[in-house]
C-alpha cells in the first residue's frame, strides 16, 4: 500500500522502468528472429501492450485486486471511472500493475514468432489480459491493494514477490500451449538429422534488448515494495547479482553443451537469472541470489534442450527463460528464503510445499484456459499459410516493403522473363545496394557471355534443336534449319517426331524413348547431297537438347 508522496513517486518511476521492458522485448525478439519477420514481431510488441493496457484497466484490474469473492476472484474496481485525481495512490498502483500485465502478455510473442497470425495473437493477448493473468493473479496477489481481499493461495502463505510465477510463468505456460498447438516453423525439424540453427536477424539488437530488459527489471523488482524504504537497495543488488550470475552460467552452459560460447544462451541466461530472482529478491541473501540466478540459467539451458528433443519450436527461447526459470525461482523462495523476511509463519518444509502448490496450480490453470481459447479459434485463423511463411510476415501480414524485398522481386522478374538486359535498382550507402551492384555486374558479364554463345550457335554449321519433355520443339538454329530443310517458324511448336519424319527419317521413331531423361539415341538421316547423324544429348530440367552434326 502506498502511504506517502515519495512512495507514489517511486512507484511511478518504477512503472516507467517496467515500460522500458516493452522496448527490451521488442529489440530482443526482432533481433532473434529472421529479418523477413522482424517488423511483424515489433508490431506485435507494440500492439499487445495497447490491448493489455486497455483491457486490464477496464476489467482485469478489478478481477485481480478488487474485493475478493471467497478468495477466487475480484469483484470491484472495474474501469475506475469514478477514481478522480483525489485517489492518486490507487491510480499509481493501477499504472504499475498495467505494466506487469503487459509483460505477461508479451512473453508469448517471441515464442510463437514467424508463423502465428497477427489477429490471432492479439486475440490471445486479450484473453491473457482479461482472464488468464488476472484470475491467477488474484489467487496469489489478491489483497496487495486492499488487505482484506486476499486470494486463497496468498492466504495459504504462497510468496511470489514480483512475479516469477504470477507474471513470467503465466506467460511461459500460455506460450508453451500456443507453440504446441501451432506447430514448428517450416524446416525447423527435418526428418533426419539434428534441427538446423535458424539464423537471427541481428544478435547485437537482441543483446541490446536484453540489456533494456535488465534496466527495466530494476523497476520491476524495486517497485514491488510499493514503498521507497530500506528494502530497495538490497532488492536492486540481488537483482543485479542474479542477472550477472545467470549470464555467465548461460554462457558456460552453451560452451559445455555445444562446444562454443553461444550468444543465445548468454542472452537467455541473463533473462533466466532475472526471472529466477524475481520471486524472492526481498528475502534472499546476496550469495543466495547469485546461486538462484546461476541455477536459473542452467534450468533454462536444460529446458531448451528438452524442447528441441520434443520438436517444440520456441523461436526465441521464451519458454525456458520465463517458464522454467520462473518455476525454479518460485521454489527457491522456500528453499533459500529467510523465513523472517517471508513473514508467512510457515516452516521451511511447509513453505516449499505451498510454493510447489502455487507452481502446479498456475500450470493447470494456464494450460486449461489457453486450450479453451485455442479450441475456439479455427486452424486457418491461427497460423499463416506455407506461402506466407515463406515470404515472411512483414509482407504477408503488414504489406511492409524493404530494400531486400524489392531486390529479390527484381531478381525474380529477371528469372521469369529471361531478359538478361534487365538491371535491379542500386541504392547507395546500403548493404542491399552493394548486393544489387554486384548482381548487376554479374548479369552484365553473363549477358555478354550469352551474346557470344548465341552468335556462335547461329554461325555454327552443326544443327542444334531444343524441345520440351513432351517432344514439342522450342527452337532451331540456322544449322538445324538447313539440315532439316524446314524454317524455324514452321517447326517451332510442332512435335519433334513429326518434324523428323517430314525431314525424311525412314524408321519409326519412339517419341517416349526420344524424350525420356537420361536416354541415348542416335538418328541417321540423309538428304540430297548430304548425310548427317543426330544424337540426343543430356537432359535439361526445363527442356531437352538435340545436337545434329553434318557428314559429307
Q: pLDDT digit string (tens) for 397-447?
A: 998 776 677 777 777 777 777 777 777 777 666 667 778 788 888 878 877
Q: Are strands 530-536 and 522-527 parallel, antiparallel or unpaired?
A: antiparallel
Distance CA 62, CA 205 (A): 37
At residue 10, the pLDDT reads 96
Grid coordinates of 116: 502465428
Whether residue 276 is found in the same domain as residue 247:
yes
Asked which of 418, 438, 457 is the last residue of a domain, the reply is 457
How does residue 505 score in pLDDT terms, banded at 50, 70 and 90? low
Domain that holds residue 441: 401-457
Whether residue 111 is found in the same domain as residue 141:
yes
Is 396 within a domain?
no
More confident residue, 481 or 458: 481
Conformational region of residue 349, where left means phi above 0, alpha means psi within -120 to 50, and beta covers everything else: alpha
Q: pLDDT digit string (tens) for 226-253?
A: 999 999 999 999 999 999 999 999 999 9
At residue 328, the pLDDT reads 98
Whether residue 52 is found in the same domain as residue 171:
yes
Residue that the C-alpha cell 514491488 belongs to: 224
Is 178 within a domain?
yes
The gap between the terminal CA atoms of the chain, to the nearest Å, is: 107
At residue 537, the pLDDT reads 41
Q: Are strands 473-476 and 522-527 parallel, antiparallel or unpaired?
A: unpaired
Whether residue 169 is found in the same domain as residue 306:
yes
- DSSP-assigned letter for residue 199: P
At residue 493, the pLDDT reads 83
More confident residue, 499 or 311: 311
Asked which of 352, 369, 390 is the last residue of a domain, the reply is 390
At residue 464, the pLDDT reads 72
Q: pLDDT digit string (tens) for 275-313?
A: 999 999 999 999 999 999 999 999 999 999 999 999 999
Whether residue 38 is found in the same domain as residue 17:
yes
From the list 237, 62, 50, the residue with the least C-alpha distance to 138 is 62
**Per-residue pLDDT for 542 more than 70?**
no
Is 395 within a domain?
no
Phi, psi of 229 (to 5 degrees): -125, -170
Whether residue 370 is found in the same domain as residue 482:
no
At residue 1, the pLDDT reads 60
Distance CA 75, CA 402 (A): 49
Conformational region of residue 79, where left means phi above 0, alpha means psi within -120 to 50, and beta covers everything else: left
Whether residue 409 is found in the same domain as residue 473:
no
Mean pLDDT of the chain: 85
**Per-residue pLDDT for 549 more than 80?**
no
**DSSP of 30-97, one letter per residue?**
HHHS-GGGHHHHHHHHHHHHHHHHHHIIIIIHHHHHSSBSTTS-B-S--TTTT--TT-HHHHHHHHHH
Whether residue 56 is found in the same domain as residue 184:
yes
Return the HEC string of 271-286: HHHHHHHHCCCCCCCH
The CATH number linked to 408 is 1.10.8
Lowest model confidence (mean pLDDT) among 7-11, 69-73, 464-468: 464-468
The domain total for the chain is 3
Distance CA 147, CA 403 (A): 56
Is 306 within a domain?
yes
From the list 228, 262, 288, the residue with the least C-alpha distance to 92 is 228
Q: pLDDT digit string (tens) for 42-100?
A: 999 999 999 999 999 999 999 999 888 888 998 888 776 655 556 888 899 999 999 99
**Per-residue pLDDT for 525 more than 90?**
no
Is 503 within a domain?
yes
Whether residue 417 is found in the same domain as residue 381:
no
At residue 155, the pLDDT reads 93
More confident residue, 526 or 270: 270
Whether residue 311 is found in the same domain as residue 336:
yes
Whether residue 127 is found in the same domain as residue 64:
yes
* 494-513 as b/e: b if 16+ CB within 10 A: ebbbebbeebebeeebeeee
**Per-residue pLDDT for 346 more than 70?**
yes
From the list 175, 166, 169, the residue with the least C-alpha distance to 125 is 175
pLDDT over 90, % of the chain: 59
More confident residue, 40 or 86: 40
Ranges assigned E (strand) in 126-282: none
The CATH number linked to 482 is 3.30.450.20
Whether residue 357 is found in the same domain as residue 425:
no
Q: How many residues does the chain have?
A: 552
- Alpha helices, DSSP H, located in 279-347: 286-309, 318, 325-336, 339-342
Asked which of 331, 363, 390 is the last residue of a domain, the reply is 390
Is 439 within a domain?
yes
User: What is the arithmetic mean of pLDDT over 271-278?
Assistant: 97
The CATH number linked to 161 is 1.10.3430.10
Q: pLDDT digit string (tens) for 162-202?
A: 999 999 999 999 999 999 999 999 989 998 888 888 888 89
Amino acid at each position: 500500500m502506498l502511504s506517502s508522496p515519495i512512495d507514489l513517486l517511486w512507484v511511478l518511476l518504477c512503472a516507467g522502468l517496467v515500460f522500458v521492458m516493452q522496448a527490451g522485448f521488442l529489440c530482443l525478439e526482432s533481433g532473434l528472429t529472421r529479418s523477413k519477420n522482424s517488423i511483424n514481431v515489433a508490431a506485435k510488441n507494440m500492439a499487445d501492450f495497447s490491448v493489455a493496457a486497455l483491457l486490464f484497466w477496464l476489467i482485469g484490474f478489478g478481477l485481480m485486486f478488487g474485493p475478493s469473492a471467497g478468495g477466487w476472484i475480484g469483484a470491484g474496481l472495474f474501469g475506475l471511472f469514478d477514481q478522480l485525481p483525489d485517489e492518486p495512490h490507487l491510480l499509481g498502483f493501477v499504472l504499475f500493475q498495467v505494466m506487469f500485465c503487459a509483460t505477461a502478455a508479451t512473453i508469448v510473442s517471441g515464442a510463437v514468432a514467424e508463423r502465428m497470425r497477427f489477429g490471432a495473437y492479439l486475440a490471445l493477448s486479450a484473453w491473457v489480459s482479461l482472464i488468464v493473468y488476472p484470475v491467477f493473479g488474484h489467487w496469489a496477489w489478491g489483497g496487495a491493494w486492499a488487505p482484506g481481499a486476499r486470494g486463497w493461495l496468498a492466504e495459504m502463505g504462497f510468496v511470489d514477490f514480483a512475479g516469477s510465477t504470477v507474471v513470467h510463468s503465466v506467460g511461459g505456460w500460455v506460450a508453451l500451449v500456443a507453440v504446441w498447438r501451432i506447430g514448428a516453423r517450416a524446416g525447423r525439424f527435418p526428418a533426419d538429422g539434428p534441427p538446423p540453427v535458424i539464423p537471427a536477424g541481428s544478435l547485437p539488437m537482441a543483446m541490446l534488448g536484453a540489456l533494456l530488459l535488465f534496466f527495466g527489471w530494476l523497476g520491476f523488482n524495486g517497485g514491488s515494495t510499493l514503498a521507497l524504504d530500506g528494502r530497495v537497495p538490497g532488492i536492486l543488488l540481488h537483482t543485479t547479482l542474479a542477472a550477472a550470475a545467470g549470464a555467465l552460467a548461460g554462457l558456460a552452459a552453451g560452451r559445455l553443451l555445444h562446444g562454443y560460447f553461444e550468444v543465445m544462451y548468454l542472452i537467455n541466461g541473463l533473462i533466466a537469472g532475472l526471472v529466477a530472482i524475481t520471486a524472492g529478491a526481498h528475502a534472499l541473501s546476496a550469495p543466495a541470489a547469485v546461486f538462484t540466478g546461476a541455477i536459473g540459467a542452467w534450468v533454462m539451458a536444460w529446458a531448451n534442450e528438452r524442447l528441441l528433443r520434443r520438436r517444440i519450436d520456441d523461436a526465441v527461447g521464451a519458454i525456458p527463460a520465463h517458464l522454467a526459470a520462473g518455476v525454479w525461482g518460485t521454489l527457491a523462495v522456500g528453499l533459500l528464503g529467510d523465513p523472517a523476511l517471508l513473514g508467512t509463519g510457515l516452516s521451511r518444509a511447509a513453505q516449499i510445499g505451498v510454493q510447489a502448490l502455487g507452481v502446479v496450480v498456475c500450470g493447470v490453470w494456464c494450460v486449461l484456459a489457453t486450450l479453451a481459447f485455442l479450441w475456439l479459434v479455427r486452424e486457418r485463423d491461427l497460423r499463416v499459410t506455407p506461402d506466407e511463411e515463406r515470404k515472411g510476415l512483414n509482407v504477408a501480414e503488414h504489406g511492409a516493403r524493404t530494400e531486400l524485398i524489392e531486390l529479390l522481386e527484381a531478381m525474380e522478374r529477371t528469372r521469369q522473363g529471361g531478359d538478361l538486359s534487365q538491371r535491379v535498382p542500386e541504392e547507395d550507402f546500403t548493404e542491399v545496394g552493394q548486393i544489387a551492384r554486384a548482381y548487376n555486374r554479374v548479369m552484365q558479364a553473363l549477358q555478354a557471355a550469352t551474346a557470344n554463345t548465341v552468335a556462335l550457335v547461329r554461325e555454327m554449321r552443326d544443327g542444334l534443336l531444343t524441345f520440351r519433355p513432351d517432344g514439342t520443339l522450342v527452337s532451331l538454329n540456322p544449322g538445324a534449319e538447313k539440315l532439316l530443310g524446314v524454317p524455324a517458324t514452321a517447326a517451332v511448336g510442332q512435335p519433334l517426331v513429326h518434324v523428323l519424319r517430314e525431314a525424311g527419317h525412314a524408321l519409326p521413331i519412339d517419341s517416349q524413348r526420344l524424350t525420356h531423361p537420361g536416354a541415348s539415341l542416335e538418328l541417321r538421316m540423309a538428304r540430297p547431297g548430304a548425310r548427317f547423324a543426330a544424337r540426343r544429348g543430356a537432359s535439361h530440367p526445363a527442356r531437352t537438347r538435340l545436337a545434329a552434326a553434318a557428314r559429307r
